[in-house]
Amino acid sequence: MQPMNCAATAEELRRQEFSRLSAAVTPRIEAFRSMTADAFRTEITLMLERLGHAVISSVTNIVTTKDGTVNLCGYGRGDTRSLGWTP
């Protein structure tokens, strides 16, 4: 039987847990604002998958299914002036 290296094992578990938590945490709004359109769409798609949606397509808009319904998640480029609304 080989002796256990507790410090190395603890460090590996800590690294794995940090990685798991990082993948599950929603980024801050500042991070979303600095993303490219493709990175933003990817992050939203991953969040929807974590919420139990099955992604059908994420090429332009994101189309998912959950609980027998089809859902469409559309997003724009952020130009609210074209919608007649200014922050």
What's the pTM value of the predicted model, to 2 decimals? Answer: 0.59
pLDDT at residue 8, as a whole number: 87
In the chain, beta strands by DSSP E? 54-57, 62-66, 69-73
Residues 6+ apart with CB under 8 A from 50: 24
pLDDT tens string for the chain (87 positions)? 566 688 888 999 999 998 888 777 777 888 888 988 888 888 889 889 988 999 999 888 899 999 999 999 887 665 555 555 454
pLDDT at position 56 is: 94
